[in-house]
Amino acid sequence: MGIFVVGISYKTAPIEVRERLAFSEKHLSAFLDRTTDSPFLEEKVILSTCNRVEVYAQGREAEDGVSEIKGFLSSYHQFPLEYFEKYLYVYQHGEAIKHLFRVSSSLDSMVVGEPQILGQVKGAYFLAKEAGVTGLILNQLFEKAFSVAKRVRTETQLGEHAVSVSFAAVELAKKIFHKLEGKSVLLIGAGEMSELAARHLLTQGVKAVVVANRTYERAVALAESLGGKAADFSRLEEELIHADIVISSTGAPHYILTRQKAEGVIRARKNRPIFLIDIAVPRDIDPQINEIENIYLYNIDDLHVIVQNNLQEREREAQKAEDLIQRESWHFLGWLEAQNAVPTIKSLREKAERIRMQEMEKTLSRVSVSDKEREAINAMTAAIVNKLLHGPISYIREQAHARNGFNMETIRRLFDLDRS
Amino acid sequence: MNVIFSNLTLFIYFIATLKHILFLIHRRPLLFKIAMGAVALGFLSHTVTLILMTVQAHRLPFANFSESLAFSSWVVVLAYLLAEWRYRISALGSFVMPVAFFGIFLALILPGEGTPLIPVMANFWFLIHLVFAFLGTAAFTLTFGVGVMYILQEGQLKSRRPGVFYHRLPSLEMLDDLSHKALSWGFPFLTLGLVAGFIWIRSAKGSFWDWDPHKTWPLLIAWAIYGILLLGRLNGWWRGRKAARGAVFGFVLVSLSYWLHTYS
């Protein structure tokens, strides 16, 4: 009994190869149907996303199973193996378990911590389950992968740190305002960066976007595309009084918001906090303004620093997640080995009994013995076999229970159980 | 004070405080669950302690500083549990539980056994005075904890180089909101407590002003500070950092007057 996975991902293969091997949902079912008769693939799940195509399988012989999967992939997509074999990765046993846990927990994703992958893994599993091509082992494995992914999400802050400038701005806004619903956004200047940040803020539920630009027509155009309204540049101060989040990106050579103006604005706002984001170079907003209470001013460099800090923080959280996954995959391996123990013990006993019977027959056919003597020899050989096997069998039971990643394969090889 | 239960309470609160702080550092949900479990368990043991005190002394446990500390810590923990249940600010415990722990700790090391209740204390107005003073203190303990959190988070955001507290503390708006809510409860409580105190003093001593001024002035100043904070907030004169600092300073004054009031 072994678990193995054959796959390609954005890490190993360019898009030209991935798209040739990708499956649509309809094709997934068809492919699963086609592999039904394979003696080497007792259970299987296929995961196909834009970043990866992976076939998880369970079967007696991993080596044969792996080449079977490669053959199926090649013939199904009519894509010769030699063109893509070098991009494939193969993991077996503990490594395969760990790989699935890492994929489901989004540690193997392009954007580490992104939440979609778990849903995609679930979809792939349920499709295979409905098609009836999963069984005890893969059912357990995938259920475990989902619970591990959930633990990673709740026990680490993997997905919580913004790692782009515009997300960092959203994150800061949430630390100032808690909920962004109902907050107003003012864009000063109609640049691309401020548009991107405004779109992020809109997805967070901000109420209104007002665009103020020196060229009024540009303001109107951007306001329309954001579903907001345009404001006249001369009415800037008035607009500032009503705005909670301000993104400034004009090409002005001097400060367009001075300390004196800002003090007037905060007084008129009755000290309600205001978050100013100055992404213009040269800067639009006098940096001294940050000294005024309830005004929070960030420029483009400040946002970059936050992104850098968050990347470090995310790495620390990823390490926590890796440790958790390592422990959980050892655990699962233990369970898998315990599954292997029963058939191993059974075949060990059968093999010993077979040898004993063969040797008894061989010997007793050549000599003549009484029934009583035959009985005694029978009892003696049975006792030898039992006593000899007692040690190994208790050891197998013990190790399978200990769940410490004990490799049943060693025992099978040691007693040569897979050749008959 | 019942030795077993009061020490047990102290021990459990210690664990709760420790786990809250560990949770703030590591942000593992399990730590928070343990911390909240410990708070609930400690609160239970605390309640038993107070009941036993009442039964043993045949009177409510207000007679001296030690007893009243044990009682007011109980109200603080109750207020914390309510705030946590209502607002789910999981970092709050790290700032409020140490106060409750310290209260119980002082109550245990200060002399408290066998003080008879002075006859003037067995009075309806005195009881009203105490109940509202305790409720007010609990609300102000919350504003204190929230105020400290606000000052920390505000410092992070103003510095433009957010560090460890940035991710671990809630948003300014939420903290400001909670502080305001606690203040809106605490101020009327304190006011009622003061009024009841005046009436009690008058009925006991025949005059409104016949008491040691040094005992009462810090309390009146704290009352004025909280009043101004509330008024300023309602009118938009100040918000945020100033208000948070005011709340922290007010709590220091309240603690001081609490001590002057009862520890003599």
- CATH code assigned to A165-306: 3.40.50.720
- Shortest CA distance from B173: residue in chain A: A177
Residues 6+ positions from A162 with CB-CB distance below 8 Å: A168, A170, A171, A306, A307, A310
Interface touch B157/A175, C-beta < 8 Å? yes
pLDDT at B118: 61
> Which H or E element spans position A305?
helix A300-366
pLDDT at B117: 58
pLDDT at A33: 82
Interface touch B237/A271, C-beta < 8 Å? yes
Instruction: Please tell me if residue B114 touches chain A, with a CB cutoff of 8 Å.
Output: no
pLDDT grade, residue B55 (50/70/90)? confident
Q: How far is CA B103 from the centre of its chain?
A: 9
Residues 6+ positions from B96 with CB-CB distance below 8 Å: B76, B80, B141, B142, B145
pLDDT at B106: 86
pLDDT at A394: 87
What is d(CA A338, CA A264) in angstroms, rounded to the nearest whole number?
Answer: 73
Q: Residue A396 pLDDT more than 70?
A: yes
What is d(CA B223, CA A273) in angstroms, rounded to the nearest whole number?
Answer: 27
pLDDT at A9: 93
β pairing state of A43-48 and A245-248: unpaired
| Top-confidence range, A377-381, A399-403, B68-72, B119-123 | A377-381
Interface touch B235/A178, C-beta < 8 Å? no
* B238/chain A closest Cα distance in angstroms: 6
pLDDT tens for B118-165 read 665 667 888 888 889 889 988 999 999 999 999 999 999 998 888 778
pLDDT at B24: 85
pLDDT at B207: 60
Q: Residue A1 pLDDT more than 80?
A: no
Smallest CA-to-CA distance from A187 within A176, A198, A196, A179 is with A198
Out of B173, B238, B239, closest to residue A177 by CB: B173
Q: What mean pLDDT do residues B79-104 have?
A: 89
Q: Residue A104 pLDDT more than 90?
A: yes
Least confident of A233-237, A345-349, B63-67, B159-163: B63-67
pLDDT tens for B2-21 read 678 888 888 999 999 999 88
Per-domain boundaries in chain B: 1-117, 118-264
pLDDT at A190: 83
Interface touch A309/B162, C-beta < 8 Å? yes
pLDDT grade, residue A403 (50/70/90)? low
pLDDT at A95: 93
Picking from B23, B149, B171, B235 by the largest number of A CB atoms within 10 A of its own CB, the best residue to mutate is B171
Q: What percent of chain A has pLDDT over 90?
A: 44
Interface touch B160/A298, C-beta < 8 Å? yes
pLDDT at B212: 64
Interface touch B240/A161, C-beta < 8 Å? no
Helix (H, G, I), strand (E, B), or coil: what is residue A170?
helix
Interface touch A178/B170, C-beta < 8 Å? yes
Least confident of A139-148, A402-411, B239-248: A402-411
* B166/chain A closest Cα distance in angstroms: 8
pLDDT at B1: 56
Q: What mean pLDDT do residues B61-73 have?
A: 80
Q: What mean pLDDT do residues A337-344 have?
A: 78
Q: What mean pLDDT do residues B24-53 have?
A: 88
What is d(CA B51, CA B69) in angstroms, rounded to the nearest whole number?
Answer: 15
* B27/chain A closest Cα distance in angstroms: 8
What's the 3-state SS for chain B? CCHHHHHHHHHHHHHHHHHHHHHHHHCCHHHHHHHHHHHHHHHHHHHHHHHHHHHHHCCCCCCCHHHHHHHHHHHHHHHHHHHHHHHCCCCCHHHHHHHHHHHHHHHHHCCCCCCCCCHHHCCHHHHHHHHHHHHHHHHHHHHHHHHHHHHHHHHHHHHCCCCHHHHHCCCHHHHHHHHHHHHHHHHHHHHHHHHHHHHHHHHHHCCCCCCCHHHHHHHHHHHHHHHHHHHHHHHCCCCCHHHHHHHHHHHHHHHHHHHHHHCC
Instruction: Please tell me if residue A305 touches chain B, with a CB cutoff of 8 Å.
Output: yes
* A335/chain B closest Cα distance in angstroms: 25
Q: What percent of chain B has pLDDT over 70?
A: 89
What is d(CA A337, CA A401) in angstroms, rounded to the nearest whole number?
Answer: 9
pLDDT at A149: 94
* A183/chain B closest Cα distance in angstroms: 12
- Shortest CA distance from A162: residue in chain B: B167
A36: tokens are 């039904």
Please say whether the beta carbons of B107 and B99 come within 8 A.
no
Q: How far is CA A271 from the centre of its chain?
A: 44
Q: What percent of chain A has pLDDT over 70?
A: 98
Instruction: Please tell me if residue A204 touches chain B, with a CB cutoff of 8 Å.
Output: no
A323: tokens are 């440790």
pLDDT at A155: 85
* Active-site residue, A252 included: no
Q: Residue A402 pLDDT more than 80?
A: no
Residues 6+ positions from A213 with CB-CB distance below 8 Å: A187, A188, A189, A190, A219, A222, A230, A233, A250
pLDDT at A175: 92
pLDDT at A43: 92
Which amino acid, one-letter code, is at B21?
A: I
List CB contacts (< 8 A) between A268 and chain B.
none
Report the phi/psi class of residue B58: left, alpha or beta, with left for phi > 0 and alpha for psi in -120 to 50.
left
Read out DSSP for A313-373? Answer: HHHHHHHHHHHHHHHHHHHHHHHHHHHHHHHHHHHHHHHHHHHHHHHHHHHHHHS---HHH
Q: What is the ipTM metric for this complex?
A: 0.83
* A284/chain B closest Cα distance in angstroms: 17
* Topology of the domain covering A2-160: Beta Polymerase; domain 2 (3.30.460)
Mean pLDDT of chain B: 84
List CB contacts (< 8 A) between B33 and chain A.
none
What is d(CA B63, CA B116) in angstroms, rounded to the nearest whole number?
Answer: 7
Q: Residue A338 pLDDT more than 80?
A: no
List CB contacts (< 8 A) between A172 and chain B.
157, 162
Instruction: Please tell me if residue A294 touches chain B, with a CB cutoff of 8 Å.
Output: yes
pLDDT at A262: 93
pLDDT at B172: 93
Residues 6+ positions from A227 with CB-CB distance below 8 Å: A202, A209
Interface touch A175/B235, C-beta < 8 Å? no
Per-domain boundaries in chain A: 2-160, 165-306, 333-414
pLDDT tens for A65-83 read 999 999 999 988 999 999 9
Instruction: Please tell me if residue B152 touches chain A, with a CB cutoff of 8 Å.
Output: no
pLDDT at A400: 73
Picking from B23, B152, B173 by the largest number of A CB atoms within 10 A of its own CB, the best residue to mutate is B173
Out of A155, A294, A297, closest to residue B239 by CB: A294
pLDDT at B206: 64
Out of A155, A161, A177, closest to residue B171 by CB: A177
Instruction: Please tell me if residue A394 touches chain B, with a CB cutoff of 8 Å.
Output: no
pLDDT grade, residue B256 (50/70/90)? confident
Helix (H, G, I), strand (E, B), or coil: what is residue A154?
helix
Residue with tokens 């005046």: B198
Mean pLDDT of chain A: 88
Q: What mean pLDDT do residues A322-348 have?
A: 86
pLDDT at B68: 81
pLDDT at B114: 57
* A128/chain B closest Cα distance in angstroms: 33
Smallest CA-to-CA distance from B136 within B62, B73, B81, B190 is with B190
Instruction: Please tell me if residue B245 touches chain A, with a CB cutoff of 8 Å.
Output: no
Q: Residue A105 pLDDT more than 70?
A: yes
pLDDT at A258: 92
pLDDT grade, residue A397 (50/70/90)? confident
pLDDT grade, residue A32 (50/70/90)? confident
A181: tokens are 């619903």
Interface touch A273/B240, C-beta < 8 Å? yes
Interface touch B173/A298, C-beta < 8 Å? no
pLDDT at A324: 93
Q: How far is CA B15 from the centre of its chain?
A: 19
List CB contacts (< 8 A) between A272 and chain B.
236, 239
The whole model's pTM is what?
0.73
Q: What mean pLDDT do residues A367-396 have?
A: 90
pLDDT grade, residue A383 (50/70/90)? very high
